[in-house]
Structure 1
C-alpha cells in the first residue's frame, strides 16, 4: 500500500479519532483530523487527501453535506460515512449522495480495513482512454442517452452501493454490470453473473451458498456457492425477480449479515461482495403483486440505473452494426460486409423490440444471406412495424403535386424531395408539432427526428 496516502478523519469524538488514526497508521496511511465541517472543508482545499472518513453528525452540520461537497469539488476522493445511528435509510441516503461506503459505530476494524483497501484501489486506479474501454466492453455509441448511461455507470463504479439495473430484454444489462465492476476498486476480483431464472428451485440454496459433503444425496464433495466464488468482487443477479419467495428471504439475510451458511454446515462464513442485480420486469409492480419482498427490494435497489432501449439510441445503430459486422467477418474468416445506405436507414427506423440482441441476430442472418460485399434491405428481413412503415401509410402521395421524374435524374434525390414535401406538409398541418405530425404520418417520434435531421429540417 502507498505509504504516502493520506486519510482525512472528521469526527468530534476524540476516542473515535484516536481509534481511526491508530488503525489507519498501522495500514501505512498518514492521517489528518478535523472536528467540524468547516475545518474539513479548509483541509480539503489545502491538503492532498486520498480518502475521507466522516461522521454523520458534526457540530456545524451534517456529514452528508460534506459528501455532496466532495462529489462536486473533489470527485476523485472516496468518502465513507460513519454513524452511531446506522440505519438502512441513512446508509441509502449516504450512498445516493455519492458516498463510497457506510460504516456503523461501534466500528468493526476488519470491515474498516477492507473499506480502506478498496477505497485506495479506487483512488489510485489509472483509467484507460474512454474509447478503448467502451470497445473492449462492447459498449459502443455516441448518442446522448448512451453517453448519459456511461457517465452514470462510472459514478456508480466509485461506490459500493447495491445497484439495480433496469432495462428491456436485450439491452445489455450484464455488459453494463461488468462495466461498473471493471471501473471500480473490485476490478481485479471475480465478477460472477447468475441467471436467477435458470436455476432449479431445489438447487438454489446450494448454488448460492454452497454445500458440505454428504449434506444431501449427490453431495459427494464440498462445493462453493456463488457468494464464495464472488468473494471480494461482484455478484450480478440477473432476472432477480424470478427468485422464489423462500429464496428471497435467504438472500436478504446474506446481504444484511454479510455472511452465508453452506447447506449442511453449522458455521457461518463471512463474505464481502458487491451486489448488482437486473430484471426486465418492473420490480415495483412485483412488490405490489406480492411476488417480490419489499425489504429485499430496498436492499438491492439502493440506486437504480435505467438502460435506454435501442429505439431511443438510433444514432448508435450504424456504429453498432459496423462493430458486429466486423466481428462476424473475423469469425467467418472473410472480408467485412457493409450496409448500403438504404439498409442503414431501414435499421434506424426499425423499433427493435429485441434491442441489441435482435440487432446482432438480424446482422448475422443478413451476413449469411447476402450475395456480395453489400447488405441490402432485403437481406435484413425486418419485421414490419409502425416505425418501419413508409411515409405514405399516413398520407396519400397521389394527392401531392409531385414533379414528374425525368429519365437520367438521380432517383434518391427525387425521392428525397418527395419525402421532404410530405414531412413539411404534415408539420405545417400541425403547426410544427413534431409529435402530432409523426402520428399523422404513421411513424414514431424517433423516426421523425431521424428524418428531420437527414433532410435538414430541424
Structure 2
C-alpha cells in the first residue's frame, strides 16, 4: 500500500501521527512544508500518497494552496486538513470543493487514525473503480432483452434526461447506471452511488444533503453530501422505493430547481446533477398505497429502462459464467477453471433468484472449491444442485450424499428445500470429506497458497454472507426477525447486509 503523507512543520505532530499509524500497519512519509510535497509529487506521480494529511499554516506555502494544487493533479486523492479551532470557519468555506475531512487540533489520536483509515478505504475504492472501468467490459449479453438495454443506453448517450431503472435485486442496475454515466456528456464528472435502503433513516438526510458544523451531536465539521459530491456528474439513487416519505419531498425540491439546504444550514446550495434512480419495487403500487409521492414518481420516471432477470436471458449464462470464472481467477491469482457443458446445462436450468450477482458468487465459489480444472455438475455449490425443471429423484441419484441417521440427504439439496422429517437430523462424523468444515479447510488451503494477505477477512465475509442469506431466506426477508434468530442486533444485520452486498 502507498504511504500516508503527513505535512506539518510541528515535529511533535508528525511524530505522534507516525507512531499511531505504524501501530495500525499504515506506512507513512513526513514533510515539513508544502514545497517539499510538490517536489516529491513532481518527481514521480506513481509514488504519490494513499492519503494526504496536511496542516493549514506552514512556512513555505499554506495547506490551502497545497490542497488546490494537489486536487488539480489528483482529484480522487483524499486530503485531510489539520486545523486549529480558530481556523475552522475560514477553512470550511475554502475547502468545500476539495478536502475529504477536517481534523481539528488538538485531536484525539484514535479518532485521527479512524479518520485516516476511512480516507484509505475511500482511496482504495476509487482505485478498484478505476481498474473496473478500464479493464473489465461494462456489460455482457447477447439475449434480445439485453440488446434492447444496450440500444436504450446508446439512444440516451447524449442526453441528460432522468432515468428510472427497474429490475430485480442482483440484476445489474448499478452497471447500467454507470454505463449511462460513462456514455453521457457528464462522463468526465463524478459518478456517486448511494443505496437508500442500506442507510438508517436518521442518517440518510445527512448522507444526501450534507450537514453544517454543529447541526447535531457529533457534527464537529461541515460535511458535503452526495448531491454536492456529484456536482457536474451523476448521482445514482439505488432502491429509491425505500426512501422515507419526508425525504422524498426534499428530493423533489432538488430535482425541481437544483437547490437544497444542508442539515442545519440556512443558505441554499446549488448543484448540477443528473439523477438516475433504480428500484426492484412496483412504484406505481407504492404510489397507490401512499408510500411514495406521485409527483416524485413522475419526476423520476421520465425514461424507464427495465433490466431483465437472469432467468429471462438464459442464453447469456454460458458467456457470463466464463467471464466470471476468468475474473475470479485473476482476483485469486490462480489458473482459470473451465466448465463442462453438463455443468452449464445445470446452471441454465437454475432459477437464479439472486440474478447475475448470484452467478458471480457461484463462479467465485467453484474457483476456490472445485478440485479439478474442469468444473462438473457435482462441483457446483449446494443451491444449484437441484435445478428448476429437473426431477428431484434424478438429482438425488446423481448427487453425493451425507449420512443423516437412517435417512440420506443429497449434498446438492437447495437451501430452500426442507430437511427429511422421518428421523431427527444428526450429521455423522463419517460424513468426512463432504462436511462443510472440510470444505472450509480446502477453501482456506487454496487461498493460503496464493499471495493474498486477507484470507481471514475473505473467508469471514463469505461465511457471514451465507449465514445472513440463510436467515433472510428463513424469515422471508424480514431483517429484524433474521437478526433475532442469529442473535445479533438490528443495526448489525443492516450494516452487514450493506457491507456484503446482500441488499
TM-score with structure 1 setting the length: 0.55
* Secondary structure of 1:387 counterpart: coil
1:378 aligns to 2:375 (yes or no): no
Specify whether residues 133 and 251 from structure 1 end up closer, same or farther in structure 2 by C-alpha distance, changes over 3 A only.
closer
Distance of 1:201 and 1:375 partners within structure 2: 45
1:221 aligned partner: 221
How far apart are residue 136 of structure 1 and its match?
3.1
- Contact 2:349–2:388 under 8 Å retained in 1: no
Structure 2 segments unaligned to the other structure (5+ residues): 1-131, 396-503
1:310-354 deviation digits (Å, cap 9, x = unpaired): 111111111111111111111222111000110011111222111
1:296 aligns to 2:296 (yes or no): yes
TM-score with structure 2 setting the length: 0.50
1:260-293 deviation digits (Å, cap 9, x = unpaired): 1112221111110001000111111111111111
Distance of 2:157 and 2:193 partners within structure 1: 17
- Contact 2:190–2:234 under 8 Å retained in 1: yes
- Contact 1:138–1:175 under 8 Å retained in 2: yes
2:247 aligned partner: 247
Specify whether residues 383 and 294 from structure 1 end up closer, same or farther in structure 2 by C-alpha distance, changes over 3 A only.
farther
How far apart are residue 135 of structure 1 and its match?
7.3
How far apart are residue 379 of structure 1 and its match?
1.1
1:263 aligned partner: 263
Distance of 1:221 and 1:133 partners within structure 2: 33
Specify whether residues 321 and 186 from structure 1 end up closer, same or farther in structure 2 by C-alpha distance, changes over 3 A only.
same
1:361 aligned partner: 361
The alignment's C-alpha RMSD in Å is: 2.1
Specify whether residues 356 and 389 from structure 1 end up closer, same or farther in structure 2 by C-alpha distance, changes over 3 A only.
farther
Distance of 2:390 and 2:156 partners within structure 1: 36
Specify whether residues 198 and 189 from structure 1 end up closer, same or farther in structure 2 by C-alpha distance, changes over 3 A only.
same
Alignment of 1:34-53 (within 5 A): none
Distance of 1:222 and 1:170 partners within structure 2: 35
- The size of the alignment, in residue pairs, is 262
Structure 1 segments unaligned to the other structure (5+ residues): 1-131, 394-458
Distance of 1:153 and 1:342 partners within structure 2: 35
How far apart are residue 383 of structure 1 and its match?
4.6
1:285 aligned partner: 285
2:187 aligned partner: 187
How far apart are residue 387 of structure 1 and its match?
3.1
Distance of 2:205 and 2:143 partners within structure 1: 42
* Secondary structure of 2:371 counterpart: coil
* Secondary structure of 1:322 counterpart: helix
How far apart are residue 134 of structure 1 and its match?
10
Alignment of 1:151-166 (within 5 A): 151-166=151-166
* Secondary structure of 1:197 counterpart: coil
How far apart are residue 157 of structure 1 and its match?
2.7
2:485 aligned partner: none
- Contact 2:336–2:367 under 8 Å retained in 1: no
How far apart are residue 389 of structure 1 and its match?
4.0
Distance of 1:136 and 1:302 partners within structure 2: 30
How far apart are residue 230 of structure 1 and its match?
0.4
Distance of 2:153 and 2:133 partners within structure 1: 13
* Secondary structure of 2:386 counterpart: coil
Distance of 2:390 and 2:309 partners within structure 1: 17
Which range moves more in the overlay, 167-176 or 146-155? Answer: 146-155
* Secondary structure of 2:159 counterpart: coil
* Secondary structure of 1:220 counterpart: coil
Alignment of 1:60-75 (within 5 A): none
1:141 aligned partner: 141
- Contact 2:349–2:387 under 8 Å retained in 1: no
Higher radius of gyration, 1 or 2: 1
* Secondary structure of 2:275 counterpart: strand
Distance of 1:389 and 1:313 partners within structure 2: 22
Specify whether residues 342 and 239 from structure 1 end up closer, same or farther in structure 2 by C-alpha distance, changes over 3 A only.
same
